[in-house]
Amino acid sequence: MSKSKPKSKSKKKGSERLQTLGVSQSAIPKKPSRSILETFDNSHPLREYEIQFECPEYTSICPITGQPDFGLITITYVPDTQCIESKSLKLYLFSYRNHGAFHEEVVNMILDDCVAVCSPKRMTVHGEFNPRGGISIAVTAEFDIEKQ
């Protein structure tokens, strides 16, 4: 019997790496982790174009009061060789549902994780959070490969 090496997720090409797309009942992960995010090959890597995702049903937990926070997360990026798969992004963002963090931390965590998995040319994450105590908060974090 010959021994074969297990296939590495990172070695697979294109859509072969995708684990959640096409699965009808994907469980929402219990905590945020960049390992939830999946990518596929950019079919137009020589062209600069923009991709935008909006998550109008974002929720997390206030780390002090434990009260739910609601908001809109918008992710806009110019891909390089990899694009973020939208269902994995949905599961990743929904995993914040029971995560306690301030809005500023959440937006920066999302940016760091998305940049780590797809290495874009540019990316902006903007969070508009519903008012609590009469004050609404908007946070924007940006990444630009040319400024690194």
Give catalytic residue positions: 62, 69
In b/e form, how buried is each residue of 16-26, taking b as 16+ CB within 10 angstroms?
Answer: ebbebeeeeeb
Helix (H, G, I), strand (E, B) or coil at 135: strand
- Cα gap 119→80, rounded to integer Å: 7
Q: Which residues contact 2 (CB under 8 A, 6 or more apart)?
A: none
Q: Is residue 20 within 8 Å of 26, Cβ to Cβ? A: yes
